[in-house]
Amino acid sequence: MSATEDQARYPFLKEASSFVERFSLGLKELADYPGVVSRAMEWASCGLEGQIFITDPKDPETDILAYPLALAFIYGLKKEWAVNRFATSEQKRYDGLLRLEPDEKLARMAKEGFGWELERLHLSVEEKRFDFAMGVREYLDVAPHFHSSEWKLVNRYVQGGRVYIKKSEAARLLSGAVKNKIVKRASEEEIKKFEVPPVFDRQMEGLRAMAAKRGQVYEEGQVMVDLAEARPPCIVAIINDLSAGKSLSHMARFALTAFMINIGKSVDDVLLLFSNVADFDAGKARYQVEHIAGQIGSKTKYSTPKCDVLRSFGLCVNPDRLCEEVWHPLIYYRARLGELKRGKPNA
């Protein structure tokens, strides 16, 4: 595989950035290259649709230039869900590619892309085989964003400040780092203020139309229907704990209350859920639920905490395949409602 083809497939590499810089082209100048604009549109569209973009091995130079323009299009939409969806599609693309790379090349890309020191090794411990070792700090930069409990540090083999991982896990971590980088960049002031040059108005109009259709699932807004089968695993677990009479943490109570309010349940409906808890105080509970619903106090209706927040409080449990694609319980719920309408099983 040529160097330029590598740079097209893995635009997070410094070599790819250097390639673009050599052309000394700004975003406006890229409009003079129809092939680049077309590929950038295809790349951005694939991301919004949750599809994996396939780079062209016959014309890697065009794709190298198309990537920063595709990112600009996505950031220009000014929608958090669009950035996350594009980043998730990129993560899946990298994960599939990186698993097929030689160990030496994988370690080199980790070093070049993120400064990681992936130590190549072949070690077996208690019938588990490891291919790499990496620093704990680098591991914790990415692993906590994954849903499965197997990624928790307490469930890993750690020795001498190094976490031992398999090749497939190294690919997952590296692809996760790329996703995090894309998402984090969107929160920077420079990107918040960024506007796509008017020369690309036609392309942005097409992407906004596509985003408007997808936004029915991903945009904020109340869902005026409660379907138990569509609830995310974290909410199901909290409700099961309530039914069993268990005491809930403050965050668990807040998350459940905000979720139920945002899918259209009334204050009385929510109070009924909490009524069989041993320390239930009807007056105090009503005040808290009405406050979260925005009926009293600041009149601000609260949303359910994002998945990252719930994960940090240990409330992300029993994640399923849809959990890997979303970053908010309400987005999970809307997406699952759509699947159920189409008769798609949650397998």
So what's the pLDDT on residue 225? 67
So what's the pLDDT on residue 128? 86
Over 60: is that where the pLDDT of 76 sits? yes
Over 70: is that where the pLDDT of 298 sits? yes
Give the mean pLDDT of 238-243: 90
So what's the pLDDT on residue 276? 74
Over 90: is that where the pLDDT of 247 sits? no
So what's the pLDDT on residue 252? 93
Instruction: Say which residue, 331 or 216, is predicted with more confidence.
Output: 331
So what's the pLDDT on residue 3? 66
Over 90: is that where the pLDDT of 25 sits? no
So what's the pLDDT on residue 19? 63
So what's the pLDDT on residue 243? 84
Assign 127 a pLDDT band (cuts: 50, 70, 90): confident
What integer best gives the mean pLDDT of the chain? Answer: 88
Over 80: is that where the pLDDT of 226 sits? no
Domain ranges of the chain: 3-78+188-218, 97-180, 228-341
- Judge contact between 179 and 91, C-beta under 8 A: yes
Least confident residue range of 134-143, 233-242, 289-298 = 289-298
